[in-house]
Chains A and B, each alone.
Chain A
Amino acid sequence: MTARLTPLVLSALTVGAWGLVLGVLSGRAELVVVVLPLLFGLLRIGGTGASRGWSLARVLSAPRVFEGERVTVTVTVSAGHRVPLLELFEPLPPTLRLVSGHNRGLFTLRPGRSVEWRYEVECVRRGRVNLGTVHARLWDRAGLEAAETSVRLPGQLSVYPRPLPLRRLPGPRRMQAFVGNYVAPSLGEGLEPGDIRAFVPGDRVRHVNWRASLRFGQLFVTQYHQERNADVVLMLDTLAEAGAAPDTTLDASIRAAAALATGYLARKDRVGLLEYCGPFRWVRPSSGRAHHERLFEALLRADVMFSYVTQEVALVPRRVLPPQALVVAISPLIDPRFEKALVDLAGRGFDLVVLSPSPIVLARRATRPSARADLACRLWALERRARADALERLGITIVDWDPAEPLEAALSGSSASRRRGAVR
């Protein structure tokens, strides 16, 4: 830690020199006396020990939070020696917003004493945030000299995407072999009554349908639909984004993915994640709470990265993209490479739903309103509609979602169209 003189010394010298010059020019002794305290004050330079006799410790109120939640940062400053004036500054990353207190503090400490400094931040955007370095400046009491240093402290904060409220989810058309919450067309053990057939030896007595048996004079049993789960693969488009952080199309997509993952896992489905950023990155479908955390960790890392590499869907292993899976693709449909991947998936017979957060609303919010911007947005909307129609002609369900509106409302419209599609 090296001490240096501050601009205050230059200020004092300037005023002092001017006073002396005026004194000589006017021949008045008072002007010399006026500047003497300034010059005497400069004698304090080097008088204070700027040694590193202090230490810092930082504690976060929660190491893992969701977007929009608040975290209290507590920094404890302890002193071994006397500290005349210690200035601490913690630069905040753009994903955090100060809501109470200050991220800069000034302290004085006696030997053996400690001081707690608290401030509260709001996590505005998902991501792994490292509060990391605290910049410290040790001043003398007068502010004539200062020594600077930086202290690295552990302060890792994981900000998970905020799941949007969601009750209805796009239902899968095909089920898997494991027990779940969907009523399967196949008959077997279950709760939902299906067909009635004549009793055969080996049938359980509690399945006997007494009303039908009495009416026809012979024994009939009720059959039940099996309750099965499904494989759901969330396919996230990280090729491009539109809008300004923290409300880009990718942010909206990730919030939707978090909500869908939470919803499907709550229904005992196996959920996987496929991130398409040119090459593929994936999390294999699975279920359970540990897998929920695994998915959220993957969503935390998801970001737009430019890549010249473009992989084909055929390269994704079957374990990651099971043939019977419902694929929910979340994309603003900006990059044609993603549309090509969608066409490829539809061609391979996957049950496919495309949830498309509208980039137009978000881009418009980020730009200055003008007649040109209005016209551009209208043209963009037309082009987008044409692209969506082309995909719908291939049998792909497109759910257009304005991120300012609830996701639930957008998805409820899709359920009806998928049912109609199923009837056809």
Chain B
Amino acid sequence: MRRLAAVLSVVLVGYPLLVVSSTAVLALGAAALSLCALGILVAPPVLVGGMVLALGEYTLALWLADGPPRLAGAALLGVVLVLLLETADFGRRAHRATIGPGLFAAQLRSWAVVAALTGMGAWAAGAGASVASAAVRLPWAPAIAAAGVAVTLVAVALALSVRRLPPRD
């Protein structure tokens, strides 16, 4: 499972290089890759640091390329982010453990479903937003986007903290 996570981290770091190949992006990518590799082997917080750096690398690549939005690629990269987090976490749990029959297959099926659903959802949301933005021109668009982001994050955090899972036994 760690190998799969390593492959995903290579994809995560390599995709921005396909957008634009520059020394700065390459340097950031190398740093992100080493952090991801260390995180897969040692501790999840280091992996999160590597992913944060990889997002920075992607931002830099997009800023340098300055072309039209590539939504399909972005959705694919988002799926890679989800899968990398989950496979690395599962790999850590499965390390030095007896793996029951059918577990890997079930896990792979689950990830495939998650990848398909979240990828399609992200792509659809992106496409919908593109269509809406072409039709509606909002004043102060960056401010509205920032407010939207803040509201989204607060809403997610509140949803997670307020959510009361029923006691099970």
Contacts and interface: CB of A to CB of B under 8 A. Distances in A.
A50 interface: yes
B7 interface: no
Interface stretch (A99-107, A165-173, A250-258, A411-419): A99-107
B110 interface: yes
B62 A31 contact: yes
Contacts of A118: 98
Contacts of A23: 145, 149
Interface in B32-91: 44-45, 47-48, 51-52, 55-56, 58-59, 62-63, 69-71, 73-75, 77-79, 81-82, 85-86, 89-90
Given A30-B69, A105-B98, A117-B98, A5 B55 contact: no
A196 interface: no
Tell me if B's interface is mostly helix, strand, loop or mixed: helix
A19 B100 contact: no
Contact of A106 (B45, B69, B100): B100
A37 B81 contact: yes
Given A29-B129, A102-B96, A13 B156 contact: yes
Interface stretch (A142-150, A325-333, A342-350): A142-150
A33 B122 contact: yes
B165 interface: yes
Contact of A20 (B85, B102, B153): B153
Given A22-B56, A23-B149, A117-B98, A38 B168 contact: no
A322 to B, nearest CB: 55
A6 B126 CA distance: 29
Nearest to A6: B89
Contact of B125 (A8, A33, A119): A33
A33 B93 contact: no
Contacts of A21: 149
A107 B103 CA distance: 6
B81 A24 contact: no
Nearest to A19: B55
Interface stretch (A39-47, A126-134, A209-217, A371-379): A39-47
A41 B146 CA distance: 22
A7 interface: yes
A106 B103 contact: yes
Contacts of A143: 86, 89-90, 93
A30 B73 CA distance: 8
Nearest to A110: B102
Contacts of A1: 167-169
Interface residues of A, number: 70
Contacts of B169: 1, 51-52, 149
B71 A33 contact: yes
A9 interface: yes
B160 interface: yes
Contacts of A17: 153
B75 A8 contact: no
Given A29-B129, A51-B169, 15 more contacts: A2-B168, A11-B44, A13-B156, A13-B160, A14-B48, A24-B142, A30-B62, A30-B73, A36-B78, A41-B118, A45-B163, A46-B163, A84-B106, A105-B100, A108-B106
Q: Sorted from nearest, which 7 A-B pairs have the closest CB atoms?
A: A107-B100, A37-B118, A37-B78, A36-B122, A30-B74, A105-B98, A33-B74
Interface of B: 44-45, 47-48, 51-52, 55-56, 58-59, 62-63, 69-71, 73-75, 77-79, 81-82, 85-86, 89-90, 93-94, 96-103, 106-107, 110, 114, 117-119, 121-123, 125-126, 129-130, 142, 145-146, 149, 152-153, 156-157, 160, 163, 165, 167-169
22 contacts: A11-B47, A11-B48, A11-B85, A13-B156, A22-B55, A22-B59, A23-B145, A24-B142, A24-B146, A26-B59, A26-B63, A28-B63, A30-B62, A30-B71, A34-B77, A36-B121, A37-B78, A44-B114, A102-B98, A117-B100, A143-B90, A147-B168
